[in-house]
Amino acid sequence: MGGLVIVGAGECGVRAAFALREAGFDGPVTLIGDEPHLPYERPPLSKTFPTAPKHIAGEDAYAAARIDLVRGRRVSAIDRAKKRIAFAEGGDLAYERLLIATGSRASLFPGMEKARTLRTLSDAETTLGSLAPGKKLVIVGGGFIGLELAATARKLGADVTVIEAAPRLMARVVPTEIASVAEARHRAEGVAFILGTQVRTVTETSIMLADGHVIEADQVIAGVGALPNTELAAAAGLAIENGILVDGCFRTSDPDIFAAGDCCNFPYREARTRLESWRAAQDHGKHAARAILGGEDAYQRVPWFWSDQYDLTLQVAGLPDPAAASIRRDLGDGAFILFQLAPDGSLLSASGIGVENAVAKDIRLAEMMIEKGINPEPAKLADPTVNLKSLLRG
Ligand code: FAD
């Protein structure tokens, strides 16, 4: 096999590059990223500041694995007939097989174009670097990133107001009971909330709400979701549908081109989904690498997310259904997990909140139950004296 080329040197692309070597591939591997930095982890960007970048791998590791890491260059086109990619800066490169791992970017609603966003190391340096006691920060969006940013900004002493269009926080990702615990903690830490309110326009230093009310700020940051970077794939004629459409082996509509991580839309439990998840990006990268080398098994990992806000950690396994009822399991010291069952009685999701690692073990067991398709008895799920390990055995 000739050269394997990966576009996008984020979590997914880097893991795929190393996984190709771990799977025994000996030919050329080129990993191309448009950011100037050594590839780094994004999750710490909203959680701690100041902090040194957490590199996914040290510079020596790329050399040792003979991965040709190309930094600061943007791939601008894919010529599928000639099997070559072109660089925006000039030049091109042949590929035998290509992995698109271009990730996602922060999205902005019309009127919000002047708001800052937090996606890259450079964004974090600009945004968080200017926060200090007394500075006024307005965050648009009460999802994971907006709330992590709120907690970090409070630690830096800034005055923080979060504006959210939905009537409650984290509506897309966790059940109401969990969002309420997080909201109470943010309020206790001094964060102000304006919920159920749309934003009309944003300038660098002010925000106008739908009712015309204006709030002045030193900085306005939007955390209102992300859009998959699909333009390169779309221009090459690959199938797109809320992400680059792939099968269970991360193959696109072109058998020599794969796509994985935040940018792809993949099959999950008889449906399709697109995730913005650190662990999924890693797992996708490793799975896609094996598929590029001929692996045929379909990806089946259960989605798993986490968020850190102050000393609280939220963890979610599976994909919660906002309309489904929950079964609550209390773990002590205010920590609890909400389980949801699918119509066939199998475990659908588990969402937990608690201080530091309080929910980690049980969420891990719930994830394994979801993976195995276990139908747990609701009363046992609710009873903290019943070890979840016993339910895992079915
Ligand atoms: P990315 O990390 O976005 O990497 C894609 C790379 O490709 C980027 O460097 C991009 O610049 C580059 N690229 C794009 N187009 C081109 C091109 N044409 N040519 C060359 N390079 C290109 N997830 C969690 O599960 N838990 C968390 O707590 C969490 N916290 C987060 C906090 C922040 C602030 C952010 C931004 C994300 C967080 N995430 C979290 C999400 C997680 O980081 C992402 O899901 C993960 O980084 C996705 O990896 P990826 O490789 O698919 O994409």
Q: Which atom of ligand 1 is nearest to the CA of 45?
A: 34
341 touches 370 (CB < 8 A): no
Q: Which atom of ligand 1 is nearest to the CA of 105?
A: 3
- From ligand 1's centre to the CA of 102, what distance in Å? 8
User: Which pLDDT score is estimated for 323?
Assistant: 84
- From ligand 1's centre to the CA of 152, what distance in Å? 20
pLDDT in tens, 86-142: 999 999 999 999 999 999 999 999 999 999 999 999 999 998 998 999 999 999 999
64 pLDDT band, cuts 50/70/90, is very high
**CA 305, CA 279: separation in Å to the nearest integer?**
7
Over residues 382-386, mean pLDDT: 97
Q: Which atom of ligand 1 is nearest to the CA of 279?
A: 25
Alpha-carbon distance values, 270 to 173, 182, 351 (Å): 20, 32, 22
| Residue with CA at minimum distance from ligand 1 atom 7 | 8
Long-range pairs of 265-273 with CB within 8 A, sequence gap ≥ 24: 265/228, 265/241, 266/299, 267/298, 268/303, 268/319, 272/241, 272/242, 272/245, 273/303, 273/319
Over residues 148-153, mean pLDDT: 98
pLDDT beyond 90 at 394: no
pLDDT beyond 80 at 13: yes
pLDDT beyond 80 at 308: yes
393 pLDDT band, cuts 50/70/90, is confident
pLDDT beyond 90 at 302: yes
pLDDT beyond 70 at 332: yes
- From ligand 1's centre to the CA of 117, what distance in Å? 13
- From ligand 1's centre to the CA of 278, what distance in Å? 8
Q: Which residues, judged by CB distance below 6 Å to any ligand atom, belong to the binding site of ligand 1?
A: 7-13, 32-35, 42-43, 45-46, 74-75, 101-104, 118-119, 145, 229, 232, 261-262, 276-279, 281, 305-307
| Residue with CA at minimum distance from ligand 1 atom 1 | 103
**CA 43, CA 167: separation in Å to the nearest integer?**
26
| Residue with CA at minimum distance from ligand 1 atom 50 | 103
16 touches 55 (CB < 8 A): no
pLDDT in tens, 173-206: 999 999 999 999 999 999 999 999 999 999 989 9
Over residues 243-270, mean pLDDT: 97
**CA 312, CA 307: separation in Å to the nearest integer?**
8
pLDDT beyond 70 at 145: yes
pLDDT beyond 90 at 38: yes
Kindly report which listed range (66-70, 129-133, 187-191, 339-343) carries the lowest average pLDDT score: 129-133
What's at 230, amino acid-wise?
A: T
Coil, helix or strand at residue 144: helix
**CA 184, CA 169: separation in Å to the nearest integer?**
11
144 touches 173 (CB < 8 A): yes
Q: Mean pLDDT, the chain, as a whole number? A: 96
* Best residue among 102, 121, 224, 351 to mutate for probing ligand 1, ranked by most atoms within 8 Å of CB: 102
* Best residue among 276, 283, 284, 306 to mutate for probing ligand 1, ranked by most atoms within 8 Å of CB: 276
pLDDT beyond 90 at 24: yes
Per-residue b or e along 86-108, where b marks 16 or more CB atoms closer than 10 Å to that residue's CB: ebeeeeebebebbbbbbbbebeb
The two three-digit tokens of residue 66, written as one number: 């003979």
- From ligand 1's centre to the CA of 11, what distance in Å? 6
Over residues 225-244, mean pLDDT: 98
List, in sequence order, every residue forming a beta bridge with 216; answer none if it has no partner: 206
Alpha-carbon distance values, 91 to 71, 220, 234, 304 (Å): 14, 39, 21, 39
- From ligand 1's centre to the CA of 124, what distance in Å? 14
1 pLDDT band, cuts 50/70/90, is low
